[in-house]
Amino acid sequence: MSTAFMDPLPLWREPVWASVRRVLGRAITAALWTVLGGIPGVFTGVLPVAWLRPVALVFAVLALAHTVLAVANLARNRRVLLRLMGTGSIEWPQSIQERLVRARLDWVEGPVVRVTEELRVPGPASTYPRVRLEGGGRTISRLPLYGTSVEDFIAAVNEAAAGRGVRFERAEPGEEPPADAAAP
């Protein structure tokens, strides 16, 4: 039976707290640049050097645009980080910015998708652990799990994708995929 007619199925979503944190962080950045640079005709800003105020205002406008894009991306993708398409491919949905610059779409396919935990980068990060997905000769790198263990992630996506012809399994770093795991 063909599944090409099916709607995309969300497999993994970003937690609400991560979305709120990102939007608030960008909004606070825009507000700080606005306080530094001021708003022409409303107030002069707190920068003591007058020629720096227009520079701060430009940064404030860019930060505000970044905030608006974050909200638009949330509305567009509904926090989905990984979705199973009707064609059987699994993709990381692109943001508006990625579509504007025509970035390559990250996707994998195949009956078996291998999940490998990536190495941590030193320093604090709420997105860890991150994983690499491999299937059908394609790769999705640095998928954030936001504190969820790799085993729990695999169980959750396997449950969500049940009956759709795809299975996620754990792989160790550097391990070669079996010959029968390649896409047809």
**Distance linking the first and last C-alpha atoms of the chain:** 17
Shared domain for 90 and 73, answered yes or no, is: no
The conformation of residue 20, written as its DSSP 8-state character, comes to H
Classify 167 as helix, strand or coil: strand
Shared domain for 57 and 103, answered yes or no, is: no
pLDDT tens sequence across 126-156: 888 999 999 999 999 999 999 999 999 999 9
pLDDT tens sequence across 12-62: 999 999 999 999 999 999 999 999 998 887 888 888 888 888 999 999 999
The H-or-E segment that residue 97 falls in is helix 96-100
Is the pLDDT at 124 greater than 70? The verdict is yes
Shared domain for 100 and 175, answered yes or no, is: yes
Shared domain for 39 and 86, answered yes or no, is: no
Q: What is the reported pLDDT for 127?
A: 86
Shared domain for 122 and 149, answered yes or no, is: yes
- State the Cα–Cα distance between residues 138 and 10, nearest whole angstrom: 19
Residue percentage of the chain with pLDDT more than 90: 70
Q: b/e map of 144-153 (b: 16 or more CB within 10 Å)?
A: bbbebebeeb
Shared domain for 25 and 95, answered yes or no, is: no
Average pLDDT of span 93-122: 93
The conformation of residue 78, written as its DSSP 8-state character, comes to T
Domain end among 45, 60, 77: 77
Q: Is residue 61 domain-resident?
A: yes
Radius of gyration of the chain (CA): 21
Domain end among 27, 56, 77: 77
Say which residue, 6 or 19, is predicted with more confidence: 19
